[in-house]
Amino acid sequence: MIYLDNSATTKPHKDVLATFMLVNEQYYANPASIHRAGVESNALLTKAREQLANILHTDEKNILFTSGGTESNNAALFGIAKSSNFRGKHIITTEIEHPSILEAVKRLEEEGYEIDYLKVNKYGVISLEELQQKLRKDTIIVSIMHVNNEIGAVQPIKEAAQIIHRTCQAMFHVDAIQSFGKLPVFFNGDNGPDVISISGHKIQGLKGSGLLAFRKKPQLKAFIVGGGQEFGLRSGTVAVPQAVSLAKAARLAVEGMPGNFENFKKWSADLHHFFEQFGQEVYVLSPKDGAPHIISFSVRGLKGEILINALQKRDIIVSTSSACSSKQTKTSHVVEALNIDSRFKNGVLRLSLGAINTDEDIASFKKQFTIVMKELKGEIMQ
Ligand SMILES: Cc1ncc(COP(=O)(O)O)c(C=O)c1O
C-alpha cells in the first residue's frame, strides 16, 4: 500500500512504539504517588516535559500535556477566553481554521463573545492589513493556524505576531499541528506566538497525545477540573507513556526535518509539474510556495470518492481535502473560502506526504493516476 494520507495521521515511528511499550511496562505507577515507583514515573514525565520545552524554546512549566490537537485547540480558546473576559470578549480567527477552532469559537459566540473571521486570498493566505484593521483594545485572542490541513497554505505567523503584540494585549494562539516537525515553527522570542498546539499522531507519535506550549506562564482557566494535575489546569492522571512518546516523536521529527523537507520540496515540485500536464482537467489548489507536504487538487466535474476508490483499487491511499470531514458530503469550508471554479469543488483530493514515503511512492502515484484518468475519461464532465 502506498500511503499518501500523512496529514490525516501518520504511521507511528518504531522507536516511538518501543518507548511506549517500555514506559508502560516499567513506569506504570501514577506520577502523583509519593512512593518510589511514583517518584520514578514523575521523574520520567518531568524529563519528557524538559525535552519538549527545550525543543520549543520555552520553560518546562509552560508545557501542558493533552490528548491531542483537538483538545489543545479547544483548551487554548476556552481556557484563555474564560481567564481574559474581564479585558474584553473579542476574538479573531480565520475562515479556514480546523473545526476544532471553528466549533470552539461558535460555542464562545453563543456565550456572548464576539468573533471576527479573517478572509483568505485564492492561495489561502490571510491579509496582514485586515488583521491590523480588526484588532481592537478588547481583543483577547487571535487564533491563526500555521499550515492549513486541506491545502497547505502557510500563514505569515511571525509578521502577524509582531502586529498583534504591537497593537494590543491579545494572546496569539497558533495551531501548529500541520507544521510542527515539517517546517520550522517560529515560537521563541518575545515577538512570537504566545501559545501553540501540537498533536502527536501527526508526527509519527501516538494518537491520544498532544500538547499546548506557552511562551510564558500559562494564563488560562482550568479546562478539566479534578485532582489538579498539570499545574491545576488539566486534571486527570497524566498519561506518562503518551507524554514520553510525544517527546520522542518530537525529537525524531525535528531531527529528521531538514532531510524530509528536501524530499517534500522535490516531490511537491514534481507533482505540481505532473498535474500541469492534464491542462484544464486538473486544478491544483495548493499554492506552489505552500507547505510542500500537502498537495490538494481536483479533477473537473469528478466526485472525489470516485477517484479515491479508483486509486485505492490500485493500492494508492489518498483522502478528500480534509480527512476529519471526509465523510461529510458538502464542500469543505476551506474550498468554499478559496472561491474556485464550481466544477472543481466536489472532487478535491489531498496528497499528504510523510517521512515514510519514497521516490518510488511518488512515481507509482503518477503512474496509477494516469491510468485511472484514462479509465474515468467518460465520467469526467466537460
Ligand atoms: C490543523 C489541524 N488542527 C487540529 C487537528 C486536530 O488534531 P487531532 O486529530 O490530534 O485532534 C488537525 C487534525 O487533522 C489538524 O489538521
Residue nearest atom 9 of ligand 1, based on CA coordinates: 69
Q: Find the distance separating the first CA and the last CA of the chain, reported in whole Å.
A: 32
* Binding site membership of 19 for ligand 1 (Cβ less than 6 Å): no
Q: Which of 74, 148, 174, 177 to mutate to test the pocket of ligand 1 (most atoms within 8 A of CB)?
A: 177
Bridge-based pairing of strands 294-299 and 348-352 is: antiparallel
Q: Where are the domains of the chain?
A: 2-7+257-379, 14-252
CATH architecture label of 2-7+257-379:
Alpha-Beta Complex (3.90)
| Per-residue pLDDT at 376 | 87
* Binding site membership of 102 for ligand 1 (Cβ less than 6 Å): no
Distance of CA 195 from the midpoint of ligand 1 (Å): 16
| Per-residue pLDDT at 328 | 58
| Per-residue pLDDT at 98 | 98
CATH number for region 14-252: 3.40.640.10
Task: Answer whether 245's CB lies under 8 Å from 88's CB.
Answer: no
| Per-residue pLDDT at 185 | 83
| Per-residue pLDDT at 329 | 62
Q: Residue 34 has which C-alpha cell?
A: 509519593
* Binding site membership of 242 for ligand 1 (Cβ less than 6 Å): no
Tell me: the pLDDT tens digits for 331-353? Answer: 899 999 998 998 898 889 999 99
Q: How far apart are CA 228 and CA 226, in angstroms?
A: 6
Catalytic entry in 151, 324, 349, 353: 324
| Per-residue pLDDT at 330 | 77
Residues of the chain with pLDDT under 70: 189, 322-329, 379-382
Residue nearest atom 16 of ligand 1, based on CA coordinates: 149
Q: How far apart are CA 287 and CA 295, in angstroms?
A: 8
324 tagged catalytic: yes
Ligand 1, closest atom to CA 200? 10
| Per-residue pLDDT at 191 | 79
